[in-house]
Amino acid sequence: MTDRKFFSQKALAFSFVTAMVMVGIEVSPWIAFSSVGLLIWKWGVENLKWKPLSKKVTGVLSIALLVQILLQFRTFIGQEPSYTFLLGLSGLRVMDYRNERDHRFLVLLGFVLVSVKALFSLDIYWIIPSALAFAGLWYSLLPGALPHKGRVLLKVFALSVPAAVIMFFAFPRVVLPWAMSRGSNTGQIGFSEELNPGNVAELAGISTMVFRAKLSETGIKNAENLYWRGSVLPYSRGLSWRPGTLGLRAPEKGTEVSKSSLYEIALEPHSNTYLFVLDGTSEVQLEQGRTMSLNGDIYRSARPLMTTTVYRAKWSEGSKDTLAPDEDYLRTPEMRGRVLEWVEQTKKDAAGTEERLQALQDLFAKNDFTYSLNPGVYGGPNDLEAFLFYRKRGFCEHFAGAYATLARSLGIPSRVVVGYQGGRYNPMGDFWRVTQRDAHAWVEVFHQGVWQRKDPTSWVAPLRLVIGAEDFFNLSEEDQKVFARNVQWRPSKDSGITLWDRAEFLIDDLNYRWTYFLVDFDRSSQKSFWQSLADMKLQMILGLIFVTVIGVLLFRSLFRTKGLVSEERVLFLAVQKWAEKRNQPQESGETPLHYLTRLAEENPQQREALRDIGHFIDQKAYAGERLERQSQHLLRLWKQAVEKGS
């Protein structure tokens, strides 16, 4: 693209290729590679004199592209077919690039590519290249003759910033029922409706983020104590557990005024409606009518969580569920074989609930159980027996499931809780990052009038809880086995936080802030923002106004020349406006100088000022004199002359 110069082609090439790469990552390889091929071909045409494709060929290829998309996806509607079509079309249009019209078309196509990408993935990683490409496309639209293109672009951008900020905070947010969701691929897998052996282990193999939590007010510093409740499973099938209807929680009567503190969770979109909360949460604050509070201290969202959702929750230390269970919480499948033997034996040996619980704990702590991500598949008529007495390999859900079933058969009401445990603390942003790796299951037993947490995993592999899932699963299988019960042991790591960790924390923090403050600044956030503005002291508001005024003044002095309008034009327009009011308009085709002379003759009171202005315009616009800063003075003189006349 060297000999045909209409606009900045370098900027176009850079931005357009960036946009294509961004979209190219999302589509099937064949279209990505053929687009890259077309780009390389075009490069060859421009630089190595290769033979270009004719317009006829590219036209035929466009139709072929459409047919291929129809064959591959059976539809044109949807994210992937449209990405594919856009990308293919982009490659072909680059091939066709010949004249100014093609340039503009490519810019348009580039805007579409960038905005489509930005619509579907709002992560900060994509926003930066998107913004760059966007700016580049604008830059390539500025005519080549413009002397300070970069400066013009910056000026326009800087001028638009205040308006954009005001619009961002003040523009009314509406939730349209037909509004586009952020794509189907963002609904991550999560807990399914039931807990089958292996489910949690499967989840824990993925490192996708589930939510971030800010706990600074609660004062929790230890990952060990972080149990994030997702759902409660009341139906036992032996080793596996099923969900059941929990029922809406009755409104609390006597609200105990214990010391409670707020924490905040930013939940990524997932396929269920679970709102994960910390163990000990008494209230979740989300949009009105969006949360459902269920028995068992479980919270659900009324709508699917299609976007990142931010909610606050009230937590107090030691707050426990006290709702007495019915006999359903004692129901188990029929016990057989060695399991039945063990139950009968324990019933005989231990009379009280305390003793029975101790016996249960001993079963898990003293037998040689292995905590493993790959415990193998359990099945058959008595999987409980196979797990407890023969294979003895399991993940948290096996331990929790087995424990709860045994507890029930010993007459202790119990249930399985699924959710997450621990998380990774980000010291940069002071928040906890919880990923699928932290997926966990534990047990609650009803004893002494409250539901108490029992985590069999903490007896089998306490190290997992102490160092966190991420570090634990990074160990080799042998190490996991050897060190699982050694709470003091730590993986040999470089001491402290490495530079890489720091960078990771920083990027994660940035992404969190980005999501929280920009992407998901929705109706509720807006409301609370204005609410907090109203709550602020009057002084604060006055201070804000003062700062704004200073800012405006600063901006005014920065852009004294009124953007792209020349000084002489400003002056002339001022005169023209004045004269038009006096019914002395400029005649068609009349030169500015002639007009000013005529006005000077017709208006003796402004004669001097008009002559000066005429002289200034003549010298500045036509003679090419650099008369800087004179127009301000003239404008003042002109205003004086007008006032004198009126």
Partner 1 sequence: MNKKFHELISEASKVVLDKNVEIRLAMTCLLAGGHLLIEDLPGVGKTTLVQVLGKLTGLKTRRIQFTIDLLPADAIGGQVFHPQEQKFVFHPGPLFSQLVMADELNRASPRTQSALLQAMEEGEVSVDGTNWPLPKPFYVIATQNPHQQTGTFPLPESQLDRFLMSLELHHASKETEVRLLQGEDPRGLLNKIHALFSEGEIEQALQQVQAVKVAPAVANYIADILERSRRAGFEGAPLSTRAGMALVRAAKAWAFLEGRDYVRPDDVQQVLVPVLGHRLGGNHGIKRGREWAVALQKATAVPV
3-class SS string, 554-612: HHHHHCCCCCCCCHHHHHHHHHHHHHHHCCCCCCCCCCHHHHHHHHHHHCHHHHHHHHH
3-class SS string, 260-321: CEEEEEEECCECCCEECEECCEEEEECCCCCEEEECCCEEEECCCCCCCEEEEEEECCCCCC
| Residue 564 in the binding site for partner 1 (CB under 8 A) | no
Q: Which of 128, 189, 536, 198 is nearest to 373 (CA)?
A: 198
CB of 566 to partner 1, least distance (A): 7
Q: Tell me the number of residues near partner 1 by CB under 8 A.
A: 18
| Alpha-carbon gap, residue 107 to 549, rounded angstroms | 38
CB of 631 to partner 1, least distance (A): 12
Element (H, E) at 535: helix 523-535
CB of 618 to partner 1, least distance (A): 7
CA distances from 401 to 236, 321, 363, 509 (A): 8, 20, 14, 36
CB 636 within 8 A of CB 571: no
| Alpha-carbon gap, residue 357 to 447, rounded angstroms | 10
For residue 332, the one-letter residue type is T
| Residue 152 in the binding site for partner 1 (CB under 8 A) | no
CB of 539 to partner 1, least distance (A): 48
Instruction: Tell me whether residue 125 or residue 622 sits nearer to partner 1 (CB atom).
Output: 622
In the shown chain, the binding pattern of residues 474 to 513 toward partner 1, with x for contact by CB under 8 A and - for none, equals: ----------------------------------------
CB of 619 to partner 1, least distance (A): 9
| Alpha-carbon gap, residue 468 to 490, rounded angstroms | 11
| Alpha-carbon gap, residue 169 to 259, rounded angstroms | 34
| Residue 628 in the binding site for partner 1 (CB under 8 A) | no
CB 40 within 8 A of CB 52: no
What six digits make up the tokens of 516?
């929280």
Instruction: Tell me whether residue 194 or residue 618 sits nearer to partner 1 (CB atom).
Output: 618
Q: Which of 645, 636, 646, 644 is nearest to 574 (CA)?
A: 636
| Residue 614 in the binding site for partner 1 (CB under 8 A) | no
For residue 405, the one-letter residue type is T
| Residue 590 in the binding site for partner 1 (CB under 8 A) | yes
| Residue 617 in the binding site for partner 1 (CB under 8 A) | yes
Among 202, 264, 520, 618, binds partner 1 (CB under 8 A): 618
CB of 597 to partner 1, least distance (A): 10
10 Å CB burial of residue 414 (0-12, 13-18, 19+) is buried
| Alpha-carbon gap, residue 304 to 269, rounded angstroms | 8
Spell 566-587 as b/e; 16+ CB within 10 A means b: ebbbebbebbbebbeeeeeebe
CB of 555 to partner 1, least distance (A): 25
CB of 635 to partner 1, least distance (A): 14
Tell me the backbone φ, ψ of residue 496, rounded to 5 degrees.
75, -165
Among 373, 621, 635, 642, binds partner 1 (CB under 8 A): 621
Among 568, 578, 606, 610, binds partner 1 (CB under 8 A): 568
Instruction: Tell me whether residue 122 or residue 571 sits nearer to partner 1 (CB atom).
Output: 571
| Residue 561 in the binding site for partner 1 (CB under 8 A) | no
| Residue 627 in the binding site for partner 1 (CB under 8 A) | no
| Residue 518 in the binding site for partner 1 (CB under 8 A) | no
Sign of CA dihedral 405, 411, 412, 414: positive
| Residue 591 in the binding site for partner 1 (CB under 8 A) | yes
Site for partner 1 in 156-185 (CB under 8 A): none
Identify which range of 14-22, 46-54, 217-225, 582-590 contacts partner 1 by CB under 8 A.
582-590
| Residue 367 in the binding site for partner 1 (CB under 8 A) | no
Identify which range of 190-198, 236-244, 451-459, 567-575 contacts partner 1 by CB under 8 A.
567-575
Identify which range of 73-81, 180-188, 386-394, 587-595 contacts partner 1 by CB under 8 A.
587-595
CB of 621 to partner 1, least distance (A): 5
Among 326, 622, 639, 644, binds partner 1 (CB under 8 A): 622
Among 359, 593, 627, 642, binds partner 1 (CB under 8 A): 593
Q: Is 256 helix (H, G, I), strand (E, B) or coil?
A: coil
Tell me the backbone φ, ψ of residue 24, rounded to 5 degrees.
-60, -30
Identify which range of 86-94, 443-451, 479-487, 561-569 contacts partner 1 by CB under 8 A.
561-569
Q: Which residue in the block uniquely carries the two structure tokens 């898990």?
A: 364
Instruction: Tell me whether residue 443 or residue 617 sits nearer to partner 1 (CB atom).
Output: 617
| Alpha-carbon gap, residue 508 to 397, rounded angstroms | 29
Among 143, 624, 629, 646, binds partner 1 (CB under 8 A): 624
| Alpha-carbon gap, residue 309 to 187, rounded angstroms | 13
| Residue 630 in the binding site for partner 1 (CB under 8 A) | no
Identify which range of 20-28, 328-336, 592-600, 626-634 contacts partner 1 by CB under 8 A.
592-600
Instruction: Tell me whether residue 551 or residue 585 sits nearer to partner 1 (CB atom).
Output: 585
Instruction: Tell me whether residue 487 or residue 621 sits nearer to partner 1 (CB atom).
Output: 621
Instruction: Tell me whether residue 391 or residue 615 sits nearer to partner 1 (CB atom).
Output: 615
Element (H, E) at 212: strand 209-214
Identify which range of 123-131, 277-285, 410-418, 562-570 contacts partner 1 by CB under 8 A.
562-570
| Residue 143 in the binding site for partner 1 (CB under 8 A) | no
Q: Is 120 helix (H, G, I), strand (E, B) or coil?
A: helix
| Residue 589 in the binding site for partner 1 (CB under 8 A) | yes
Rg (CA), the chain: 35
| Residue 584 in the binding site for partner 1 (CB under 8 A) | no
Give the residues lining the site for partner 1 (CB under 8 A).
566, 568-569, 572-573, 588-594, 617-618, 621-624
